Structure formats: C-alpha cells, structure tokens
C-alpha cells in the first residue's frame, strides 16, 4: 500500500475523498504519511462526486476510497456519472480476504462484476506484487482515449502484503494521443470552405482534450461561428463575436437554435450528439452536412452517419485543421454568415429582467451573471435549474462550468463543488442547486464545514419536482411532485445553521444582488459554504411560457418557428 500511495502522488493526486473502514485500513495506514490530503466524506457517492469535481476542474484523475460491501455499491452512481461524461476517476474499495470471497463473508460483494458496466476497467488485485503496476495501468486507462472511471478492489490480505518497488525509477505510463490522418483533414477543410453557412460544434471533448486555443484559432482563421454543447460550455468564450450560442431542446438559446437551423455544414468535435442536444434527428440533420471528429472510433456513426468521420484527439486534430486551412486559404474576412448569427443573437434573446413576485427564474440567472465574474467556477446538476442555467448563464473560460450532463444524478453539485474548491482553494466557486437535489447529499455540507471549504450555494426553490411536473402536463396530471413542506417541514436556512453555516432566504428580486454579495463575503470571511435560497414561482416551466418570449420580432426561416417553440 505504500507503493500505491507513491503511485498516487506521482500521478498528480494531492487530495483524495473517502471513508475509512476495516477492510481498507492498510491503505489508510500508508496514506497517513504520504503527504496526500484526505477528506472524510459522509457518503461514498458524495466521495465519488467530489473526486469527479476535482477531476473536471484539474484535468487530472480524481480518487475516491471506500471499504468493502455497501461502500462499493454506493459508488456505482458516481462511476456511472463519470463514465457518461468522460471524466477520469479511480474508485478504490476494500474487500474481504481472498480465502473468504466464496463463503459469503461479511460485506464481501463482487464489486468488480457490479462495476463493470459503469467503468472502463474494473479489477481485483490478486497479488501484492501487482499493486504498483495495476495502479499505473488504472491511471493510463482512465486518461487514455475517451477518458472514464476505473474501479480497483483490494482484498485485505493483499493490502497487508509487501512488494518490491522503487519509486525513484518509476513514472506514469505514456498516454496515446491519436493523430488524425491528413486525407480526412484536407477533405474537412475543403468542405468548410465550400459551405455557405458552416458552423463548428464544440463538445465536451474539446475541454477534456484541452483544445480550446486550437478551436479559437481555427474559427478565427476561417471566420466560422462556434456553438457549444452543454458539456462543451466554456470551450469558446461567450462574449466572442463568433460565438453562436447553444442548440438543443432544453439547455439552449433561442438564437442558437435559429442559427443552427440556418447552417449548411456542422463540424462537430468531441460531441456525442446526445438526444437532449439533437432532439428530432430528422429536423436536426435536414439541410446540412456533418463532419464528426472524435477520439473514440466507435462513437462516429453511433447516433447517425456523418458525411465525414475523423478519428483523432481534439487538440492535434484542430491544430491540423488550422494548419491545412492556412495552407489553402488566407485569413477570412467577417462575412454575411457571422453577421447573420450576430443579428439572431440580438433579436432572439429571452427576457431576464422581470420584477415579479414570486421571482421568475430568469431573473435569478441575470443576477448570478452580474454578481460573479468570468473567473468563477459554476457547478450545477439536473432539473429545471440546469435547463435555466444552460439558457441564461454566461461562461467565458474552460473548466469553469461543470455539469453532470448525461447521467444527471441529483445531489451531485455540493460534493462536486467541494472537489473543485479543494483543487483550487483561491478560486470562487458557486453551486447552483435545486431544493430537491440539495437534499439528496446535503450531509456533505458537514464535510465543507469540517474542513473549512468556502463556496456559495444558490438554491432555486420552486417547492416542486419541477421538471417532472412539466413532463406530466401532457398527461393532465400533477401527481407526487409537491415538495411544499409548510409547517414542520425542512427549513433550509435552519438546516444550514445546524451545520454551523450561514444562510439567507430571498423572496423579492430586488434583494437578490445584495444577498449574493453578502454570501460571497460571508463565505470567505467564515471559510464556510453559504446558502442563498431563492423562492421562485412554483408554476415556472423551462423553454415555454410567456416569461421566455422573444423580446423582438424576427423573420423565421423555414421550420424555425416550430423548432423555436419546442425550445
């Protein structure tokens, strides 16, 4: 286990999240003198999400630790979340002795078989001599290709063993960076130059591959507008003249949908074409060609067949596209197409200036945008508040907008925010949460309080299972979604105070700016998480209703109005 701790350090791990237990104590004995900081979480799922947030913020491999039995099964949601969003984490579990695994020993569960569907690799250490090498391979697998999670199961007798290991002559295994072939790169540039209204779609792979500089250089050379997916938010600055918004059926901008529907070619880089982005594939594909770049070969053609597929890491592929573009074409002047995108941006905005009481959700995000600068890292999870966040929140830098996009586990944001703040103690971190999601892992507030981890929590509270209620409307039902507690129910302000943390409730939009300013100052002064609970209108729906009408009239292109009304 001392060799394992040495490997963790050399792989760039300075913080781990976990809960000690009898079956994992030899590893903890090695960690206590390793120089690696350990945070004792309150739930193993919370530990995985903290490691996830740490990994998303740093680009390195996050680590979560638990003992045997239910500790491992509690980690499954976190492993699934990391797999779905291509996040490299390693979960380490303790296990009963090898001789007891077939005897139904206490807390002896076959966690490897349970974890296989939600990991890139799940393995049980069989011999002490394997320890440093299995861990080296785990880090390599987690970071290679499309990144993702690994689980390593450690029987207690293996942990107690010894191995020959010299850290002075060991190092991380090399990571393969697939280079694109020149022929499809040249073909892609030709298609971009021939198109009248080309668009670049930056997915999460651009951020995972740290290819945002190459993306910007290509876009500026060719003067091609750039859209982002939800996972790609931050890959391209949203105040850039070529930013073209976000298309989708939920987390989208209206002008982004309009621009997408007017495009005739889409260069998608590191994007999965997830169903919440594409919506109806016939509408999404009709009238435009697609070039799909991905590091994972089997991802190309999985959702629909592109006109051109390119296998390659986002960073060298974008660099190769730019090099080829510079060979065959001079720097482009801003033309009619970027001007048209700018026109749509100025005409198809959603309102966010409401003064209504109860507070309309768009106003909350307007105040968030004004209160926090471009260096703030935002963390958000799933539900209506994620949709409003995607529609209204502004992002200017990569790894500064973190969201559990595909799996969408409730409760993700608080532990993830803890992970981000551990990675960057001097960075301002804001978790945007819903009332229901907050309650899933609210015990992790105790972790932030214990270790003096300051961040701001903005709770958008409509006292409903809002997104589920919205989905129930076509069924003419309103069943089992009411979270209106009334007398004797959960008071989130008092709950935070029970953890020793400040909190404040806001019911008037005029008080929002002051409350957010107070929370920022109070959090840093007290070195604690601080909650601002915002009570919003209970009937608010995302991507529909009068509060989301366009502020100006526009001339729709064919099918635009219908698609816009669908969100």
What is the full DSSP assignment across 310-377?
Answer: EES-HHHHHHHHHHHHHHHSPPPPP-HHHHHHHHHHHHSPBP-----SSBPHHHHHHHHHHHS-TTPE
Report the pLDDT value the prediction gives residue 544, as an integer from 0 to 100: 45
Closest CA to 136 of 159, 167, 157, 114: 167
Higher pLDDT, 408 or 256: 256
For the purposes of burial, counting CB atoms within 10 Å of the CB of 473, is it exposed (0-12), middle (13-18) or buried (19 or more)? Answer: exposed
Q: How far apart are CA 274 and CA 57, in angstroms?
A: 23
Does 551 reside within a domain?
no
Q: What is the mean pLDDT of residues 176-198?
A: 96
Tokens of 175: 């990571």
563 lies in a domain?
Answer: no
Which one, of 101, 92, 98, 96, lies nearest residue 119 by Cα? 92
Query: Do 8 and 154 sit in the same domain of this protein?
Result: yes
Please tell me the predicted confidence (pLDDT) of residue 547: 32
- Among 347, 371, 388, the domain boundary falls at 347
Examine the domain organization and report whether 141 and 187 are in the same domain. Answer: no
Mean pLDDT of the 171-183 span = 95
Instruction: Provide the 8-state DSSP code for 488.
Output: T
pLDDT at residue 357 tops 60: yes
Mean pLDDT over 382-395 rounds to 89
What does the pLDDT average to over 152-174? Answer: 96
Q: Is residue 558 part of a domain?
A: no
Q: 561 lies in a domain?
A: no
Mean pLDDT of 243-268: 94
Per-residue pLDDT at 487: 59
Do 97 and 224 lie in a common domain? no
Same-domain pairing of 190 and 328: yes
In this structure, is residue 366 part of a structural domain?
yes
- Give the residue from 114, 134, 169 where a domain finishes: 169
Domain end: 279, 314, 347, which one?
A: 347
Residue 111: predicted pLDDT = 97
Report the run of H or E that residue 78 belongs to, with start and end: helix 76-84
Considering the domain architecture, whether residues 54 and 144 belong to the same structural domain is answered as: yes
210 and 112 in a single domain? The answer is no
Do 186 and 163 fall within a single domain? Answer: no
Residues 428, 388, single domain; the answer is yes
- DSSP structural state of residue 109: -
pLDDT of residue 545: 37
Q: Where residue 156 sits, what CATH number does that domain have?
A: 3.40.50.970
What's the number of domains the chain is made of?
3
Residue 38, domain extent: 2-169
Owner of token pair 């509690």? 74
Q: Are residues 370 and 333 in the same domain?
A: no
User: Ranked by mean pLDDT, which of 144-153, 270-279, 352-361, 458-467 comes out on top?
Assistant: 144-153
> What integer pLDDT is reported at residue 556 of this predicted model?
42
Could you report the per-residue pLDDT of 78-121, keeping only the tens digit for each? Answer: 999 999 999 999 999 999 898 888 878 777 899 999 999 999 99
pLDDT tens digits, 31-40: 999 999 999 9
Q: Do 32 and 120 fall within a single domain?
A: yes
The predicted pLDDT at position 405 comes to: 83
Residues 125, 158 contacting (CB under 8 angstroms): yes
pTM of the model: 0.92
- Rg of the chain, C-alpha, whole Å: 24
Mean pLDDT, all residues of the chain: 91
Check whether residue 65 and residue 165 sit in a common domain: yes
Residue 163 and residue 201 in one domain: no
Query: What pLDDT sits at residue 567?
Result: 34
């Amino acid at each position: 286990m001392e060799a394992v701790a040495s490997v963790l350090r050399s792989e760039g791990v300075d913080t781990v999240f976990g809960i000690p237990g009898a079956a994992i104590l030899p590893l903890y004995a090695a960690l206590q003198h390793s120089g690696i900081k350990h945070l004792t979480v309150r739930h193993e799922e919370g530990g995985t999400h903290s490691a996830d947030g740490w990994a998303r913020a740093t680009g390195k491999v996050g680590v979560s630790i638990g003992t045997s039995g239910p500790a491992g099964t509690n980690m499954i949601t976190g492993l699934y979340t990391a797999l779905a969003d291509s996040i490299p984490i390693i979960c380490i579990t303790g296990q009963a002795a090898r001789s007891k695994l077939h005897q139904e020993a206490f807390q002896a569960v076959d966690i490897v078989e349970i974890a296989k569907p939600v990991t890139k690799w799940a393995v049980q250490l069989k011999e002490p001599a394997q320890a440093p090498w299995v861990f080296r391979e785990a880090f390599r697998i987690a970071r290679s290709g499309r990144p993702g999670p690994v689980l390593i199961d450690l029987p207690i007798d293996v942990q107690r063993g010894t191995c020959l290991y010299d850290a002075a002559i060991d190092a991380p295994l090399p990571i393969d960076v697939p280079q694109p072939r020149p022929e499809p790169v040249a073909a892609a540039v030709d298609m971009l130059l021939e198109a009248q209204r080309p668009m670049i779609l930056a997915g999460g792979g651009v951020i995972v591959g740290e290819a945002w500089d190459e993306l910007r250089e290509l876009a500026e050379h060719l003067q091609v507008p750039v859209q982002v997916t939800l996972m790609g938010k931050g890959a391209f600055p949203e105040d850039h003249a070529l930013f073209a918004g976000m298309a989708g059926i939920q987390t989208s901008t209206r002008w982004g949908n309009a621009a997408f529907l007017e495009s005739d070619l889409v260069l998608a880089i590191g994007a999965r074409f997830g169903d919440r982005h594409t919506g109806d594939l016939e509408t999404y594909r009709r009238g435009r060609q697609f070039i799909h770049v991905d590091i994972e070969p089997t991802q190309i053609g999985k959702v629909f067949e592109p006109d051109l597929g390119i296998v390659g890491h986002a960073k060298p592929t974008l660099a190769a596209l730019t090099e080829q573009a510079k060979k065959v074409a001079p720097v482009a002047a801003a033309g009619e197409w970027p001007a048209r995108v700018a026109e749509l941006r100025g005409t198809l905005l959603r309102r966010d200036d409401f003064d209504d009481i109860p507070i309309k959700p768009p106003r909350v995000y307007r105040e968030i945008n004004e209160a926090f600068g471009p260096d703030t890292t935002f963390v958000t999870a799933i539900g209506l508040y994620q949709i409003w966040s995607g529609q209204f929140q502004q992002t200017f830098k990569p790894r500064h907008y973190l969201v559990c996009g595909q799996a969408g586990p409730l409760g993700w944001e608080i532990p993830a925010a803890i992970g981000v703040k551990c990675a960057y103690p001097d960075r301002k971190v804001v978790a945007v949460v819903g009332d229901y999601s907050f309650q899933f892992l609210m015990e992790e507030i105790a972790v932030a309080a214990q270790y003096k981890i300051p961040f701001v929590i903005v709770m958008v509270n409509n006292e409903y299972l809002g997104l589920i209620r919205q989905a129930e409307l076509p069924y003419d039902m309103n069943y089992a979604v009411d979270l209106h507690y009334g007398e004797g129910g959960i008071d989130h302000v008092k709950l935070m105070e029970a953890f020793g943390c400040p909190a404040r409730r806001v019911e008037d939009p005029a008080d929002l700016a002051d409350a957010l300013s107070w929370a920022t100052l109070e959090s840093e002064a007290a070195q604690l998480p601080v909650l601002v609970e915002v009570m919003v209108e209970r009937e608010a729906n995302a991507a529909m209703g009068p509060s989301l009408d366009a502020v100006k009239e526009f001339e729709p292109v064919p099918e635009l109005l219908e698609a816009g009304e669908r969100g």
